[in-house]
Amino acid sequence: MRDLKLPDERHPEKAHRPDNAQPKKPSWIRVKAPTSEGYKKTRDILREKKLVTVCEEAGCPNVGECWSQGHATMMIMGEICTRGCTFCNVATGRPDALDVFEPGRVAVAVEKLGLNHVVITSVDRDDLEDGGAEHIAQTIRAARRKNPGTTIEVLVAAKPDVFNHNLETVPGLYPEVRPGARYFHSLRILQRVKELDPAMFTKSGIMVGLGEDRQGVLQVMDDMRSADVDFLTVGQYLQPTPKHHAVARFVTPEEFEGYRKAAVGKGFLMV
């Protein structure tokens, strides 16, 4: 039995990689340990329903802020991913069988959390013939039946309100950062969603601090807009362990503001 709390067992595919130094985080990134009652309530509901979140599995530093407001990103189809991206803290390996009761538990959790908007993501399931698409569709349908007033954002289409597929980084870094993915394939997915349903909102995101330059980020924005992507997120990459891709640098708040202004100027509806 693997202990997924241990880095060597959580990421066996990275065991051979040399350690990368983890630089000290600047003041604008550091956060305090979460202690609010809202955080504890969200945590207890998720534990009760035996749900996995990307907030915890990816080691997101904003978990305290989001959970204190009752916001959480559900990660379905298990906690083990079939891919081994060098930036990601989600465990890798051979996943367990799908839990047929998971869609119902997600729907109840959304109701108990009182969410107006829910984000449902998943691990990659290359072991499944459909990649888990039907399971995600069942989860969306269950959440919508139980919570008709809640908007739903997902990474696989089953008539969600927002279709989200992250490009993650600039194309030149894909071979080392996302070796199991293809930049233009991901871009085409976003474009195809708009072709099938022009009224559906689409969203994508990238990380910065992986070694890209400003021009590369602006080019990704242009590529997204050429695919009619509506919403954009840009976030700082944080290295989960020494075995993960190194942080090239920390992007300053002023640079992030520059990216926001550039993205708004390019036509994104929300940044």
Does residue 203 or residue 7 have the better pLDDT? 203
At 100 the pLDDT is 95
pLDDT at 60: 85
Q: Write out pLDDT tens, residues 28-87.
A: 888 888 888 888 998 999 999 999 998 888 888 888 888 888 888 889 999 999 988 899
Cα angle value 259/264/265 (rounded, 5°)? 95
pTM metric for this prediction = 0.79
Which letter, b or e, does each residue of 154-174 get, where b requires 16 or more Cβ atoms within 10 Å of its Cβ? bbbbbebebbbbbbbbbbebb
Number of H helices and E strands in the chain, helices first, is: 10, 8
Mean pLDDT (whole number) for 150-167: 80
What residues contact residue 31 under an 8 Å CB cut-off, 6+ apart?
61, 62, 64, 65
CB 190 within 8 A of CB 157: no
pLDDT band for 127, please (50, 70, 90 cuts).
very high
Q: Is residue 158's pLDDT more than 70?
A: no
Q: pLDDT band at 211, cuts 50/70/90? A: very high
d(CA 118, CA 148): 12
Tell me the C-alpha distance between 239 and 207, whole Å.
Answer: 11
User: What is the C-alpha to C-alpha distance for residues 254 and 65, in angstroms, rounded to an integer?
Assistant: 22
**Phi, psi for 226 (deg, rounded to 5):** -65, -25
